[in-house]
Chain A
Amino acid sequence: KAGVTQTPRYLIKTRGQQVTLSCSPISGHRSVSWYQQTPGQGLQFLFEYFSETQRNKGNFPGRFSGRQFSNSRSEMNVSTLELGDSALYLCASSLAPTANQETQYFGPGTRLLVL
């Protein structure tokens, strides 16, 4: 079974631009979560989607948004990029939000550099 895939793997943008990152979950998984990882703040939860609905959102500004499609694929968008948005963005999938006995499977991440 194929794992979680994220595209693109690397991205360089300039301040003020916007960016869209994509995540394809493991087949059959309907819950997708996004995390931001930086050296200073560590791993922080961005948001979670299940059945095309956002269930939870972390403490990030409105410039960070996302969506989920009917095939469970998810995208996240960051508008008006700032230098501090440079990070590794990780996507995780799981069967369902209430599957507490199931682990979340993480993709390889998209490394975003904002210049």
Chain B
Amino acid sequence: KQEVTQIPAALSVPEGENLVLNCSFTDSAIYNLQWFRQDPGKGLTSLLLIQSSQREQTSGRLNASLDKSSGRSTLYIAASQPGDSATYLCAVKDAGNMLTFGGGTRLMVKP
């Protein structure tokens, strides 16, 4: 059974810092890995999707890497802003179309 773990569970940083969120998964037989953002009480917004054959994806100030063999992914956020405050979730897609989610990292960026 796939298990996804995110570290840290919570993070508070001052504005402008670069930061790294970590995600690990137990079964490397995945189709893709996705990073999502969730604002309080809201749905999920897709940030980046990395296919199993890819090593990284970039979108603006976000960069996500994938090391399938070691079961790890990182989300790098450059020059953090207060608007980045949210919960960040990683999810892996393996069997069928099912996503297995990590517990999330709750990020607070202080002005």
Judging by beta carbons under 8 Å apart, are B98 and A100 in contact?
Answer: no
Closest-CB distance, A112 to chain B (whole angstroms): 13
CB neighbours (8 Å) of A68 from chain B are none
Q: CB within 8 A of B43: which of A58, A97, A101, A107?
A: A107
B96 at the interface (CB under 8 A from A): yes
Give A92 to B45 CA distance when docked, in angstroms.
11
Q: How many residues of A contact B (CB 8 A)?
A: 30
Judging by beta carbons under 8 Å apart, are A103 and B101 in contact?
Answer: no
Q: Which residues of B contact A (CB under 8 A)?
A: 31-32, 34, 36, 41-46, 49, 51-52, 89, 91, 93, 95-104
Judging by beta carbons under 8 Å apart, are A104 and B99 in contact?
Answer: yes
Q: 18 A-B residue contacts at CB 8 Å? A: A4-B43, A31-B97, A33-B98, A35-B101, A42-B104, A43-B89, A45-B98, A45-B100, A58-B98, A88-B41, A90-B44, A101-B49, A103-B34, A103-B46, A104-B46, A106-B43, A106-B44, A109-B42
Judging by beta carbons under 8 Å apart, are A48 and B96 in contact?
Answer: yes
A67 at the interface (CB under 8 A from B): no
The 5 closest A-B pairs by CB, nearest first: A97-B97, A43-B101, A106-B44, A100-B31, A103-B46
Q: CB within 8 A of B98: which of A48, A88, A90, A105?
A: A48
Judging by beta carbons under 8 Å apart, are B103 and A42 in contact?
Answer: yes
Most B CB atoms within 10 A — which of A58, A94, A100, A101?
A100
Closest-CB distance, A14 to chain B (whole angstroms): 22
A56 at the interface (CB under 8 A from B): yes
A63 at the interface (CB under 8 A from B): no
Give A109 to B38 CA distance when docked, in angstroms.
11
With A100-B93, A101-B32, A101-B49 already in contact, the answer to whether A33 and B99 are too (CB < 8 A) is yes
Q: Encode contact with B along A77-113: 1 for CB under 8 Å, 0 otherwise.
A: 0000000000010101010011011111111110100
With A33-B98, A42-B103, A103-B49 already in contact, the answer to whether A108 and B31 are too (CB < 8 A) is no
A55 at the interface (CB under 8 A from B): yes
Judging by beta carbons under 8 Å apart, are A101 and B44 in contact?
Answer: no
